[in-house]
Amino acid sequence: MKFFGKKFKCEQCKSEFSKQEDLISHARHDHHHDIVKCTECGMEFIHESDRLHHSRKEHEEKMARRSHKTEHKDNDNHSSPQDEVDKHTRNFSDNF
C-alpha cells in the first residue's frame, strides 16, 4: 500500500506529481492546456469537473447562505422601503 508518494497524475502523458500546483504547471507548459480558475478563491484546475467539485465542497456554505437569504427576510422587523415596494408588487401581480 502506498501512503506517501505522488498523488497527481497527468492524464495525457502519465507523469506523476506530489503537488497539484506542479501538475497544473506541467499541464499549462508541456501540453498547453487551458487552466480553469475558481471564481471564489482563484484556485486553478485542469478540468472543469474538478473546479465544480471543489466549489461544491469548499464553498457550499456560502452558496447555501445565498439561496436561503430570502427565506429569513420576512422575519426581519426592520424592512426597507424597497422591501415594502417588492411586497406590494408581488401581491398586485398575483391578482392577475
> Which pLDDT score is estimated for 96?
52
For 33: left if phi > 0, alpha if psi spans -120 to 50, otherwise beta; the answer is: beta
The answer to the question of residue 82 being in a domain is no
The answer to the question of residue 19 being in a domain is yes
Same domain, 3 and 29: yes
In angstroms, rounded to a whole number, what is the distance separating the alpha carbons of residues 44 and 65? Answer: 24
The answer to the question of residue 11 being in a domain is yes
Domain count, the chain: 2
Mean pLDDT per 10-residue interval, the chain, length 96 residues:
67 88 88 85 87 87 66 59 77 57
* Residue 25 structural domain: 1-33
The answer to the question of residue 53 being in a domain is yes
The answer to the question of residue 89 being in a domain is no
In angstroms, rounded to a whole number, what is the distance separating the alpha carbons of residues 50 and 27? Answer: 14
Nearest to 63 by CA among 40, 37, 44: 40
C-beta neighbour count of 45 within 10 angstroms: 20
> Which pLDDT score is estimated for 1?
43
